[in-house]
Amino acid sequence: MSPLLLCGRNVEGLSTFEVAENDMQTDTAKVEIQPNHVEDEKPWKEFMRAFIRHRSALIGSIIILLLILIAILAPVLTSYEYSARSDDLNQAPSAEHWFGTDEMGRDVFTRVIYGARISLWVGFFAVTGSIVFGSFLGLIAGFYGGWRDTIISRFFDILLAFPGILLAIAIVTILGPGLNNALIAIAIINIPTFGRLMRSSVLRVKEEDFILAARAIGMKNSRILFHHILPNCWTPIMVQGTLSFATAVIEAAALGFLGLGAQPPEPEWGTMLSDSRPFIQTAPWTMIFPGLAIMLTVLGFNLLGDGLRDIFDPRMKQ
């Protein structure tokens, strides 16, 4: 190449080297901007594609959404009051009473769909309380260690030493029967599950290089804990929360069946099963439909939880 060409200038007064340098900077800027834009959208797109492809997660979410809609639209779906009585005692399912009536002449369909409100409400607040308190204790135990870890871990061990339903019965017996006390008992017995899960996740994440770098630059422990460690430990907690929701529904129904949960005339599914025991042969529909409601609710949350576990587990990705 001739020296004149190397040192030549174009009509804009720029040398050939300057033009080439500007072109390289422009191309580099294009290359740098494009991947950042794609990377921001990729995780959400990947999750949605995996969620739609996962049959169990999709079916579970559909069941849960239907239950939520039924609970919200309960006054629209029926013209009866859940506590209204009639002279049609233990009437079989008919066009007037889709699920029949119970021993007091109350419409079973109305009580089942209103019972969805109670079960979802108990499950949501019980699991939320367990996640909040259990995750906080697990964060403290895993991050700081030492005597804090010892005390919190022994507290978890004490709670786990008792069967869950027996511990819930003992707590409700002390507090007194009632739906709110049953909610508190269910939240307490599930605290160790989330606490130990969070603790193990924190012990793993806090040894990562980005946490060590944050410590090296003098970042405060509180910022490291809530801005770096907690977001990276949230996935297993979310998966466990969906599975624990199903467990909370069963525990609430068990306490209601024993007369320690929701009190009459509240249309709680476990209480409905307990009231229908004497009529299992003469009016089996009074037990079948509340039992099916419990089964579908638990099935929906279990399918969703299993699906989320498979989606978030990197070993399941090809």
Domain boundaries, the chain: 53-80+96-312
CA distance 225 to 211: 9
Maximum distance among all alpha carbons in the chain?
Answer: 109
Task: Give the end-to-end CA distance of the chain in Å, rounded to a whole number.
Answer: 51
> What is the pTM for the complete model shown?
0.79
Predicted local distance difference test score (pLDDT) of residue 33: 44
Burial of 161 per CB tally in 10 Å (0-12, 13-18, 19+): exposed
Between CA 69 and CA 58 the distance in angstroms is 17
- Provide the pLDDT for residue 211: 85
pLDDT of residue 315: 57
- Can you give the pLDDT of all 318 residues of the chain as single tens digits? 444 444 444 444 444 445 444 554 544 444 444 444 444 456 677 777 877 888 888 999 999 999 999 999 999 998 888 888 888 888 899 888 899 998 888 999 999 999 999 999 999 999 999 999 999 999 999 999 889 999 999 999 999 998 888 999 999 999 999 889 999 999 999 999 999 999 999 999 888 888 888 888 888 888 888 888 888 888 889 889 999 999 999 999 999 999 898 888 889 999 999 988 888 888 899 999 999 999 999 999 999 988 888 887 755 554
Q: Which amino acid is at 230?
A: L
CATH T-level assignment (fold) for domain 53-80+96-312? MetI-like fold (1.10.3720)
